[in-house]
Amino acid sequence: MPDLTDIANTIRINCLKAIHAGRSGHPGGSLSIADMLAVLYFDVMNLDPSRPDWKERDRFILSKGHACPSLYVALAQRGYFPMEEALKLRKIDGFAEGHPDVGMPGIDAPSGSLGMGLSQGLGMALGGRHLGQDFRTHVILGDGDLQEGNTWEAIMLAGHKKMDTLVAVYDSNKLQGDAPVATQLDLGDVGAKVATFGWHVLYVDGHDTDALKAALEEAKTIKGKPTFIVADTVKGKGVSFMEGVLFWHGSVTMTDQQLADAVKELEHA
Amino acid sequence: MLDYWTVGEDVSVRDAFGRILVHMAAERSDWVLLDADVAGGTGAKPLVTQYPDRVMQFGIAEQNMMAAAGGVADTGLIPVVSTFGAFGCMRAHEQFRTAIAYPERNAKLCCSHVGLDVGPDGASAQMLEDLATMRAIPGVVVISPADANEFMKAFPVILDHQGPVYMRIGRSPTPVVFAADHTFEIGKATRVREGSDVTVIATGVMVARALSAAETLAAEGVSVRVVNMATIKPIDMAEVIAAAVETKGIVTAEDHNIFGGLGSAVAECAAQHHPAKMKFVGVNDTFGKSGEHDELPAMFGIDAKAVYAACKELI
């Protein structure tokens, strides 16, 4: 198995190729989750790309669905479908929808309308518990998800029901669509707030694959509590002209030169 | 053995909900009820009492419940989501659309507190828009049973149907129209009275009122056909077309806003296949108010007299 950081880097390169090919998409928030996806899909999760509907697979939901270009290419890299399908991002003749749709092999839940991912993951965990299955459910949340009341409803209930098969990874990249999170609706210390609802909370560098892996493995050992991992990230991570720059939240079109510059930088990372 | 009620009895459909839930809990293990602290109000309480392990409690957080139902369905269990109409069909409408209907989850939504049938709770609880909001979502079956017995017939059918379903649960005691031998089929209307002059296509509590109006009109020599359109979507087009072809006009009758519900569905069908004269009995694009369930229909023009008057205008 190749190094997880290398896999994440490949996700970033393919993600930008997809957004370039699609002529629109959200690069900033896609780049910030690449390391999480590498760790989840290439190490932590129990899955079988040849059987995407296997009932006892671990589940994954990208609640911040606009970051799907990274998810699609990660699924392709993992063998769910050919990379050319992921590169048909937002195209009429493919299944790489602008936001995740269960019509794509490996997509467990629709998302894109913020705030619904954690609830869907909670439902999967509740169903698994009812059926006596021990699969785990992972949900990546963005800053926007945590501004939606629906997410907090799910946080309350998951803690109350002690859903220890449920893990939320919060991609704290600090920029949202129109302005910094701190300007639009400051979320404060999200981890501390979530902890008060009965979650086990961990803080990691969201670009350190070893730290992410350690946190996700620790989550497996926690009983009686769901785990919330606050992943400190940089929007646009890996491409110097995108890092921390609001413009690259998207939905944006990348020029050929911008793609070439970004890929060059990532290939030499 | 499932006990049905006697035709003519006044029964709340909520009682039917509780009874059929308990019955089906014993029959099959492939479904669970999702409740948001209103099992006492929806009628689901007997299940909570007798089969607590078949209930997922969400507290008063319907958006979470609805989106979670999508996740529950992903595991192969059938979630039966139950709440009041305003919460299920409006507050959590987008969750139903995006987390249930869009991925074609096998989930069912059953809502009490719909229409003026709600009575004293007043306008905020009187969901008069549910048939419209749910009908507008692709792939959703929308059902409004006429009485307690039909509800009990329909419930196992919606569990067997693969895909999202919305079904109304009545609140107030209303006359039982159908006997125990009634059969329910999704998309199939029931002709409850033959007639040749005019057709009333009714749904829910309006079926009994339409029959009452038809009785009055019969005494005046007017022959009224009464159709129970329990499935609003997909609508029984053949029955609508038959009414348009064989009688002089169609009156639709629903405890719902006149816009977007049964009347609109029937008009869409008739307009395309056999345009007919129509009258719409429903709440005339206004909010309800507090009052008893048997007082409000006269005030808002959805009682038997309103159906009678609409029929008279068509002939």
pLDDT digits (tens, 9 = 90+) for B289-311: 999 999 999 999 999 999 999 99
Nearest to B205 by CA among B141, B126, B146, B291: B146
Domain containing residue B297 = 190-314
Q: Is B86 a domain residue?
A: yes
pLDDT at B83 > cutoff 70: yes
Q: How many A/B residue pairs have CB atoms within 8 Å?
A: 104
Residue B138 shares a structural domain with residue B252: no
Residue B257 shares a structural domain with residue B289: yes
**Chain A positions in Cβ-Cβ contact with residue B67 (cut-off 8 Å):** 116, 119-120, 123, 150, 154
Count of domains in chain B? 2
* Pairing verdict, β B224-228 and B190-193: antiparallel
Q: Is B97 a domain residue?
A: yes
Residue B150 shares a structural domain with residue B229: no
Residue B217 shares a structural domain with residue B308: yes
Cβ within 8 Å, pair A123-B68 = yes
Q: Is B1 a domain residue?
A: no
Cβ–Cβ contact B72 with A under 8 A: yes
Residue B24 shares a structural domain with residue B125: yes
The mean pLDDT of B260-288, rounded to a whole number, is 98
Among B142, B175, B208, which residue terminates a domain?
A: B175
Tokens of A186: 């400051």
The answer to whether residues A230 and A204 touch, using CB atoms and an 8 Å cutoff, is: yes
Out of B32, B59, B103, name the one closest to residue A130 (CB).
B32
- CA dihedral of residues A15, A17, A22, A24 (deg, nearest 10): 70
**Chain A positions in Cβ-Cβ contact with residue B75 (cut-off 8 Å):** 55, 124, 127-128, 130-131, 133
Confirm whether B62 is a catalytic residue.
Answer: yes
The answer to whether residues A165 and A191 touch, using CB atoms and an 8 Å cutoff, is: no
Q: Is B4 a domain residue?
A: no
Cβ–Cβ contact B91 with A under 8 A: no
pTM (two decimals): 0.97
pLDDT at A248 > cutoff 80: yes
Q: Is B5 a domain residue?
A: no
Half-sphere exposure of B175 (CA within 13 A, CB side): 12
**Where residue B66 falls among pLDDT bands split at 50, 70, 90?**
very high
Backbone angles phi, psi at A205, to 5 degrees: -75, 115
pLDDT at A252 > cutoff 90: no
Nearest chain B residue (CA) to A55: B75
pLDDT at B165 > cutoff 70: yes
The answer to whether residues A117 and A40 touch, using CB atoms and an 8 Å cutoff, is: no
**How far off is chain B from A189, nearest CA to CA, in Å?**
23
Residue B171 shares a structural domain with residue B220: no
B33 three-class SS: strand
User: Would you list the domain boundaries of chain A?
Assistant: 4-267
Residue B279 shares a structural domain with residue B155: no
Cβ–Cβ contact B138 with A under 8 A: no
The mean pLDDT of B177-193, rounded to a whole number, is 98
CATH (domain of B136):
3.40.50.970
Cβ–Cβ contact A125 with B under 8 A: yes
Cβ within 8 Å, pair B68-A150 = no
Residue B158 shares a structural domain with residue B194: no
Q: Is B26 a domain residue?
A: yes
**Where residue A1 falls among pLDDT bands split at 50, 70, 90?**
low
Cβ within 8 Å, pair A119-B79 = no
Residue B239 shares a structural domain with residue B120: no
- Residues B315 and A191: their CA atoms lie apart, in Å, by 69
Q: Which of B9, B27, B62, B313 is an active site residue?
A: B62
* Interior angle at CA B54, CA B52 and CA B55, nearest 5: 70
Backbone angles phi, psi at B222, to 5 degrees: -100, 130
**How far off is chain A from B97, nearest CA to CA, in Å?**
11
Q: Which fold has domain A4-267?
A: Rossmann fold (3.40.50)
Out of A109, A137, A154, name the one closest to residue B103 (CB).
A109
Express each pLDDT in A187-229 by its tens digit.
999 999 999 999 999 999 999 999 999 999 999 999 999 999 9
Backbone angles phi, psi at A141, to 5 degrees: -110, 145
A22, with CB counted inside 10 A (0-12, 13-18, 19+), is buried
Q: Round the average pLDDT of chain A to a whole number and report it.
A: 97
Determine if residue B43 is left, alpha or beta; phi over 0 gives left, psi from -120 to 50 gives alpha, anything else beta.
Answer: left
* Interior angle at CA B264, CA B260 and CA B270, nearest 5: 165
CATH (domain of B263):
3.40.50.920
- Residues A95 and A86: their CA atoms lie apart, in Å, by 8
Cβ–Cβ contact A57 with B under 8 A: no
Q: Is B145 a domain residue?
A: yes
Q: Is B183 a domain residue?
A: no
Residue B21 shares a structural domain with residue B148: yes
